[in-house]
Amino acid sequence: MSIRPGQNGEALPPGTRVYRIGKKSQLSKAALRQRRASPEMFEPSSADKGSESKSISIWVEELTVPDQGWAMMGAKPNNTVVACIDADKIAQAPAQAGFQPMKAVWEKATVQNIDGTTSPNLHPGAEGHAGIWGLLQGGDSKADKAKRLALRSILADLADISPVPVPHDLVPEHISVAAYYIAESHAWTCGCHPDVHWMMAVRQLRRERVRQEKESRAD
């Protein structure tokens, strides 16, 4: 599957896998043992509430390796949890009465300049930035607050915690081998910078670990 970033507000294509790393989400050991995302990981920040898009940040896995997303979010050593969701499931989540359904949409990543203005984020992987819209609907009533809390807990239920944290704990030699294999399979003619092969290797090894974990759970 090859995904091209869309325009701001455009829905992500069907079958897109996204993930969220809560910027200030640190889970307790009890939470980590449960291997369950916390609804707080989907809580919009004050900045999200004040933003034009009214959405919370997610990343498209095909375009942004979680380690890249984590690095762009400040590489905080305690934010190790990656919550993965199928974008289709977000759109299919039951809508709350009077609320629009949630949706996963493209949203170009930006960086804040010293003077407070923003510029496009040009870091590798930034093109995979997207957002979940729908968590900031309704007013100040208790009923609307309950609907918002229901939505974020539904998102937490839909999410899988990746068995590979950020930063990844992959064996460096395995990454080297996979990167070499990718370069070979590109017949060394792709013109990619070696870093690109390295990132593709990390993505492939991450996916493999996820697949293995799913298999072991099924057993």
Please, what is the minimum distance in Å from the beta carbon of residue 34 to another protein?
Answer: 5
Bridge partners, 111 (sequence order): 119
Q: How does DSSP assign 145-182, residue by residue?
A: HHHHHHHHHHHHHH-EE-SS-SS----HHHHHHHHHHH
**C-alpha span between 192 and 9 (Å, rounded):** 30
Please, what is the minimum distance in Å from the beta carbon of residue 44 to another protein?
Answer: 7
Residue with Cβ nearer another protein (27 or 63): 27
Written as one letter, the residue type at 17 is R
**C-alpha span between 2 and 60 (Å, rounded):** 11
**C-alpha span between 90 and 71 (Å, rounded):** 25
Residue with Cβ nearer another protein (4 or 33): 33
**C-alpha span between 164 and 62 (Å, rounded):** 16
Please, what is the minimum distance in Å from the beta carbon of residue 199 to another protein?
Answer: 20
Residue with Cβ nearer another protein (105 or 158): 158
Residue with Cβ nearer another protein (129 or 147): 147
Residue with Cβ nearer another protein (35 or 193): 35
Please, what is the minimum distance in Å from the beta carbon of residue 51 to another protein?
Answer: 12
Chain residues in the site for another protein (CB under 8 A): 22-34, 36, 38-41, 43-48, 78, 94, 142, 145-147, 149-150, 153, 157, 163, 165, 169
**C-alpha span between 195 and 201 (Å, rounded):** 10
